[in-house]
Amino acid sequence: MTSEVGTLFSQALPTPVPHRPDYVEIRREWEGQRIDNFLLGRMKGVPRSHLYRVLRRGEVRVNKGRVRPSYRLQEGDLVRIPPLRVAKSVPAERPREPELRRLADAILFEDARIIVINKPSGLAVHGGSGLSYGLIEIMRVLRPKAQELELVHRLDRDTSGCLLLSKRRSALRELHCLMRAKAVSKRYIALLAGTLPEGETTARVPLRKSVLRSGERVVRVDQAEGKPAETLFRPLRKIGTLTLVEAEPVTGRTHQIRVHAAYLGAPVAGDEKYGRDEVNRRLRSAGLKRLFLHASALSFQPGHSDHPVRVAAPLPAELERVISNLDRARAL
């Protein structure tokens, strides 16, 4: 495993840059993959920030046109890859044994094509932005024979729960098709700093994502230029002025649940970006030290099996303790 770790984990050192762009025709097994993920997988050692910079500048072209990082490749697309500074592979920090064991123990479901893992809060799904590695890099160490292991979707760093990975390109394409068809059900448990009406509440407002100079992503409601977004909220119980809910995102926009909850006047507890500072300070006294958002269930019907995949991740112990503390204090 040591040699594989040295290959997987590297830091960028300058090397000579080729003078001519490379042209790649997309084969069927690459269809459906995002252009940014395709480039990250192909250009090992290129700093992530540099790759996104050339995408924004339009130096990467698909069929002679500019594309966004979210563009999904189609069979037959011709991708122009500009000369990029590729890094040498040199040994870098590797995950420690406790981290490897923690993720090995967090696998909820696995077959020949997919893995569902119970992602811990505080662990980024991938490395970059000062992080030597994230969940996907650790999983590639744990599953060295799965050469095509990829994230199917993402969870915010502070969000815990069910995260889906594909072990084959064909599985990645299939799952992306299911997600676009809204055939993958995701359920979350969240504690909201506010109250919602009884029954189901639908937040159906468009969202627009912006990236600040620092690289931080910020999402806002934008009726004019936002992308359609829809989330269903179902109250489970009230705890004083707080509400424990099940949230079901119908679409899959960045920070969708968090922004929609804030739009409804009941932001997710512990949310430092979209939440209420005074409520978060009070909740810290109840032991809340993270975002109270947990991907509790995931279900879909895979094409390779007659049986649906249904996976559940129990609420983490630290969030259960927060609820118990709030109950004992008779809420806030």
- Can you spell out the DSSP letters for 56-122? HTT-SEETTEE--TTPBP-TT-EEEE----PPP--------HHHHHHHHHTEEEE-SSEEEEEEPTT
Domain enclosing residue 314, as ranges: 176-328
Which of 227, 213, 306, 301 is CA-nearest to residue 260? 227
Could you tell me the pLDDT band of residue 38, with boundaries at 50, 70 and 90?
A: confident
- pLDDT above 90 covers a percentage of the chain that reads 62
Instruction: Specify if 1 maps to a domain.
Output: no
The answer to whether residue 232 sits within a structural domain is yes
Please check the confidence at residue 5 and state whether its pLDDT lies above 50: no
Q: Is residue 86 part of a domain?
A: no
Reported as a pLDDT band with limits 50, 70 and 90, residue 10 is: very low
Q: Give the total number of structural domains in the chain.
A: 3
Residue 310 has pLDDT above 60, yes or no: yes
For the segment 145-166, the average pLDDT, to the nearest whole number, is 94
Q: Are 146 and 110 in contact (CB under 8 A)?
A: no
pLDDT band at 46 (very low <50, low <70, confident <90, very high): confident
pLDDT grade for 34, boundaries at 50, 70 and 90: confident
Residues 191 and 273 both lie in one domain: yes
Residue 162 has pLDDT above 90, yes or no: yes
Q: How high is the mean pLDDT of the chain?
A: 87
Let me know whether 125 and 25 are in one domain: no
Residue where one domain finishes, among candidates 158, 173, 188: 173
C-alpha torsion angle, residues 256, 259, 264, 267 (rounded to 10): 120
Query: Is there a single domain that holds both residue 17 and residue 44?
Result: yes
- With contact defined as beta carbons under 8 Å apart, do 209 and 217 qualify? yes
Model confidence at 42: pLDDT above 80: no
Query: Residue 169 pLDDT more than 50?
Result: yes
Would you state the pLDDT for residue 214?
64
Active site (annotated) includes residue 222? no
Final residue before a domain boundary, out of 173, 197, 224: 173
CA of residue 149 relative to chain centroid, distance: 15
Q: What is the pLDDT of residues 206-244, one digit of tens each?
A: 999 887 766 678 999 999 999 999 999 999 999 999 999
Q: What is the mean pLDDT of residues 110-122?
A: 96
Tens digit of pLDDT for each residue in 83-93? 876 554 444 56
In this prediction, residues 302-324 reach a mean pLDDT of 94
Both 211 and 318 in one domain: the answer is yes
Distance between CA 289 and CA 269 in Å, rounded? 10
Read off the pLDDT of each residue in 38-48 and give the average, rounded to a whole number: 76
Q: How are beta strands 114-119 and 207-211 bridged, if at all? A: unpaired
Provide the pLDDT for residue 15: 41
Residue 34's beta-bridge partner residues? 72
Average pLDDT over residues 62-79: 90
The CATH number given to whatever domain includes residue 230 is: 3.30.2350.10
Q: What is the CATH number of the domain that holds 69?
A: 3.10.290.10
Please determine, for residue 259, whether its predicted confidence score (pLDDT) is greater than 50.
Answer: yes
Q: Is residue 92 part of a domain?
A: no
- Catalytic: which of 156, 158, 222, 306? 156
Last residue of a domain, one of 173, 201, 236: 173
- The enclosing H or E element of 209 equals strand 207-211
Question: Does residue 48 surpass a pLDDT of 80?
Answer: no
